Amino acid sequence: MKKALFTILFIGSMTLAAQTTTSKITIHAEQGKNVINKEIYGQFAEHLGTCIYGGIWVGENSPIPNTKGYRNDVLEALKKLQIPVLRWPGGCFADEYHWMDGIGPKDKRPKMVNNNWGGVVEDNSFGTNEFFNLCEILGCEPYLSGNVGSGTVEELAKWVEYITSSGDSPMANLRRQNGREKPWRLKYLGVGNESWGCGGSMTPDYYSDLYRRYSTYCREYDGNKLYKIASGASDYDYNWTETLMKNVGGRMNGLSLHYYTVKGWNGSKGSATNFNKNEYLWTLGKCMEIEDVLKKHISIMDKYDPKNRIGLVVDEWGTWWDQEPGSHPGFLYQQNSMRDAFVAALTLNIFNKYTERIKMANIAQIVNVLQAMILTDGSKMVLTPTYYVFEMYKKHMGAINLPMDITSDTLISSKRSFPAISASASKDNNGKILITLANADPDKNKSVEIDFTAYKVSKVNGTILSAKAINSYNTFEQPNEVTPSEFKGAKISKSGFVKIEVPAKSIISLELQ
């Protein structure tokens, strides 16, 4: 009943949307120089809830249509996103995962209790071979999170050898024994996860020394080059970044950062679908605060690394709400509304802006957990609003970021204020420009004028993602409540400007030639 009343509230507000405000975007196409790292659009799959088991993996004998155990519907949906990189096996799970339990014949693999997420028993049927084969199917880079919290240097070093060595070595021969003759390619290696918390409750000084030890013994085999990522800070912990940059420095290729759009870590985090306008605005204000957090961490990195050799890796980000009523409390299964789509759109626009330092980002998570791309229930599958944002934004990957200036009215929530209009622009190798644009105002349309300082526009095509209400979402029974459609509200003026009528609570992608 509450949801119905709330939906009426927002539908009713649409009648007020005739009130339109004007915004202006100036795109400096001639100043573009930094490539938007495609890994910014990365994904994250943890052994948590039904992300792996039931979400990606159902096993070869499942009645759910699958290819060698991977469910076909999820595979096809993920292929369309052109995922650049996939992080696995955690998260907190990574620092309790012992990789040798997940190799060899499936019926002989030992079971384990997932102490971090629900205390459930899993059979390790999805392990190293299954993950790396999945990455090959999807055409993405694997990003491995190594066990530092409860593991050993020897264990992680042997894992790298098992995966990447082509020599006549014990671990390479064990891989061959398990059915994989040639080595896989492993570029991204995470040395621990959240080592300040679930990954070992360490101090930054202690972790710095531990990282130096682990990174020394994780060797490169047969031409495989490792991009080693140190376990970095949680949102506002600037001292952690300072300490690692000072103590570890050039021994790491990347430094991670985690930032969740969440009310807090104690008590209720709020419903994913039953919220009011003030809660919606608070969420977007918290989401936009990531830009200030990024600036501060980047400033510290710039002090110790002025030549920009160490990448910032935001390998966990997204919304975190209460689990859906009736679902397992340790599985973090949440619905995904138009509000979540805005968090994705606004955050990706920010990441594109700081691509000179941000080398990767991994939204949490890919299926059935937190801000997921996909939800499944048995044989049923549905795509979320966040999935469609990634689909609309994917052509930014590998394109040149175009600096811009935005003039917009602001939205206010509590002590935070933020622009109603968020945007990002890039130019690909063929000279085509992609503009992603979000009007976060739930009530007012925006008239947006885009001025290109050194680019003549002759053609524009668009896609829009919007919904009846800001808390609209897709279900298995109604999978098309929030889906993209063609956008025809962009016009090229005689002076060469692009003028757009942007509806309230909408996200738009424009392709210009």
Task: Report CA-CA distances (Å) from 293 to 59, 252, 286.
Answer: 41, 21, 11
What are the start-end ranges of the E strands in 242-385?
A: 254-261, 311-319, 358-364, 374-377, 380-383
Regarding predicted confidence, which is higher, 495 or 485?
485
**DSSP states of 148-213 as a string?**
-SSS-HHHHHHHHHHHH--SS-HHHHHHHHTT--SPPP--EEEE-S-TTTTTT---HHHHHHHHHH
3-state secondary structure of 484: coil
Q: Could you tell me the pLDDT band of residue 18, with boundaries at 50, 70 and 90?
A: very low
Candidate list 141, 194, 242, 289, residue with the active-site label: 194
Residue 178 is predicted with a pLDDT of: 97
- Closest by CA to 207, choosing from 158, 185, 240, is 240
Give Dmax over CA atoms of the chain in angstroms: 72
Torsion angle in degrees (nearest 10) through CA of 425, 426, 432, 433: 0
Residue 20 is predicted with a pLDDT of: 67
399-420 residue pLDDT tens: 999 999 999 999 998 888 999 9
**DSSP states of 346-376 as a string?**
HHHHHHHHTTTTEEEEEEE-SBSSSS-SEEE
Average pLDDT, stretch 337-353?
98
Q: Could you tell me the pLDDT band of residue 253, with boundaries at 50, 70 and 90?
A: very high
- Number of helices (H), then strands (E), belonging to the chain: the values are 11, 27
Long-range contacts of 206-215 (CB under 8 A, 24+ apart): 207/231, 207/244, 208/243, 208/244, 208/247, 208/248, 209/247, 210/148, 211/244, 211/248, 211/251, 211/252, 212/247, 212/248, 212/251, 213/153, 214/146, 214/148, 214/153, 214/156, 215/191, 215/251, 215/252
User: What is the C-alpha separation between 154 and 189, in angstroms, rounded?
Assistant: 15
Q: Cβ neighbours of residue 61 under 8 Å, at least 6 residues apart? A: none
Average pLDDT, stretch 422-443?
96
Average pLDDT, stretch 366-393?
98
pLDDT > 50? residue 9:
no
Regarding predicted confidence, which is higher, 34 or 3?
34
CATH number of this structure's domain 14-32+403-512, picked from the four choices 3.30.950.10, 1.10.10.10, 3.50.50.60, 2.60.40.1180: 2.60.40.1180
Task: Give domain limits for the chain.
Answer: 14-32+403-512, 38-261+355-398
Torsion angle in degrees (nearest 10) through CA of 284, 272, 294, 29: -60
75-106 residue pLDDT tens: 999 999 999 999 999 999 999 999 999 999 99
Candidate list 316, 324, 391, 486, residue with the active-site label: 316
User: What is the C-alpha separation between 195 and 204, in angstroms, rounded?
Assistant: 8
Is 194 annotated as catalytic?
yes
Residue 393 is predicted with a pLDDT of: 98
Query: What is the Cα 402 distance to its own chain's centre?
Result: 22
- CATH code that applies to domain 38-261+355-398: 3.20.20.80
Peptide bond into 91 cis (omega under 30): yes
User: What is the C-alpha separation between 83 and 80, in angstroms, rounded?
Assistant: 8
